Amino acid sequence: MRQTNIPQKPSDVTWTDDQWKAIMANGQDILVAAAAGSGKTAVLVERMIQKMIADAPINVDELLVVTFTNASAAEMKHRIGEVLEKKLHANPASQHLRKQLALLNKAHISTIHSFCLEVIRRFYYLIDLDPGFRIADDTEAQLLRDECLELLFEEEYGKAENNAFFDVVDAFTNDRSDDALQKIIQEVYDFSRANPSPNAYLSSVVKMYELKEDSKIEELPFAKDLLFDVALHLDGAKKLLKYGKQLTQRPGGPSPREANFKDDLALVDVLIQAKNDGWQTLYEAMQSLKFTRAKPCKGDQYLSELVEEAQRVREKAKKILQEMQSELFSRMPQSFLRDMKEMKPYVETLVELVQKFSQLYQAAKADKGLVDFADLEHFCLEILNDPEAAKENSIRPSSAAEVYRNQFKEVLIDEYQDGVTRC
């Protein structure tokens, strides 16, 4: 976080310096990452309070706060109410604080789906949606999905010479059932719906398999992320080996094994350099991945706990490298590229099946006046995005979005399960 627009922390506050920055920083996006139980939600609540008592105060209903569960939203409102009551007790003449307590029940503190639902109910006419819709429960939605899949497969099996479909069935199912393929279709469908434009995402999946004759793994769309992951693993192994080497240098440490750790570190350095030179070079280096036999450490001069710790650390580093070798470098790069080329027609057919299922499922829900939680997100985005921008697969605020831009002064999100609070 850039340390801009942050007032000096008073000497009587108990917030840490980093918490104070998160509470008081203005004019920028803020991302707070900390361990569970470290006070992220408390920081978020205090930030809201500070917004309400600043020199140019705002009202609590001018903040949009998104939480992960309804229980979290209720708890946050309760916390804010308690703090406001304490502030009012200390300053009973403040009409602004009294107003905030009165507005608290109307404050926009809710889950993301509750907010989406509010937007849809307010602007449903912009997307030609029946205002009498209801949200399907999990069981109802799954039964409807199963019906749509059954209809889809019945149609596909009934087509003459539908070889592309039959090839996919043979590739992903067994002789007894096509449940596995149906499961894959639903999983790909759900993943696509996690993207702003599902169809654009599905098209990008097919394009991933459109390879030129001279393509290299480094040129694949996912190669950057893959190489980043490889670099993380190599760095992790190197840190472990450095620590192991330090153990051998301690009094009572397994000093004969310092040579083992030096050899291992040299091996990792070769792999790191090979990664920088390209996937083919890294593949070749991985084929010569061999570790020296651990030097014996017998005698009273070696502390057993240090010997065992050094051995544990080395085995952990070796496991990282060996698993990476078996998972990513057991076959020649050309074999992977050939597989991707051969998989393209299967992926194309699978994507077509997902798109057909999507159409059937959306039509079935519309016929019954149902929406699911993913629909809430997409309908809300459709309302908030300019229709012309949507045609270009881009995002630009619609007239409805401008209403919320004028209404809210700040958006705060306390939603992530991985211990991240975004303000």
With a cut of 50, say whether residue 419 has pLDDT above it: no
pLDDT of 30 reads 84
Beta-bridged to residue 422, according to DSSP, are 31, 413
Strand (E) or helix (H) holding 105? none
User: What are the residues whose beta carbons fall under 8 Å from the beta carbon of 207, sequence distance 6 or more?
Assistant: 221
Average confidence score pLDDT of the chain? 90
For residues 294 and 308, give the distance between their C-alpha atoms in angstroms, rounded to a whole number.
12
Q: Write out the DSSP string of 24-60.
A: H--SS--EEE--TTSSHHHHHHHHHHHHHSSSS---G
Write out the two tokens for 225.
């992320």
Strand (E) or helix (H) holding 109? strand 108-111
For residues 4 and 60, give the distance between their C-alpha atoms in angstroms, rounded to a whole number.
24
Beta-bridged to residue 411, according to DSSP, are 64
Q: Is residue 317 within 8 Å of residue 149, measured between CB atoms?
A: no
With a cut of 50, say whether residue 41 has pLDDT above it: yes
Give Cα separations from 331 to 227, 298, 327, 390 (angstroms). Answer: 16, 40, 9, 42
pLDDT of 405 reads 93
Write out the two tokens for 302.
């070696």
- Rounded to 5 degrees, φ, ψ at 104 are -60, -40
pLDDT of 5 reads 65
Question: What is the average per-residue pLDDT within 115-142?
Answer: 93
Sign for the CA dihedral angle at 326, 331, 337, 343 comes to: negative
User: What are the residues whose beta carbons fall under 8 Å from the beta carbon of 76, sequence distance 6 or more?
Assistant: 41, 44, 45, 65, 67, 109, 414
Question: What is the average per-residue pLDDT within 137-162?
Answer: 95
Candidates 351, 339, 340; CA nearest to 210 is: 340
Q: Is residue 141 within 8 Å of residue 372, measured between CB atoms?
A: yes
Question: What is the average per-residue pLDDT within 336-353?
Answer: 94
Tens of pLDDT along 21-31? 888 888 888 88
Between β-strands 108-111 and 134-135, what pairing exists: parallel, antiparallel or unpaired? Answer: unpaired
CA–chain centroid gap for 351, Å, is 22
For residues 115 and 303, give the distance between their C-alpha atoms in angstroms, rounded to a whole number.
61
SS (H, E, C) 136-205: CCHHHHHHHHHHHHHHHHHHHHHCCCCHHHHHHHHHHCCCCCCHHHHHHHHHHHHHHHCCCCHHHHHHHH
Cβ neighbour number for residue 84 with a 10 Å cutoff: 23
Average the pLDDT over each of 21-25, 121-125, 285-289, 312-316 and give the range with the smallest value. 21-25
Tens of pLDDT along 206-263? 998 988 888 888 888 888 899 999 999 999 999 999 999 999 999 999 999 999 999 9
Candidates 133, 328, 151; CA nearest to 230 is: 328
Candidates 238, 231, 254; CA nearest to 317 is: 238
User: Could you tell me the pTM of the whole model?
Assistant: 0.77
With a cut of 50, say whether residue 422 has pLDDT above it: no
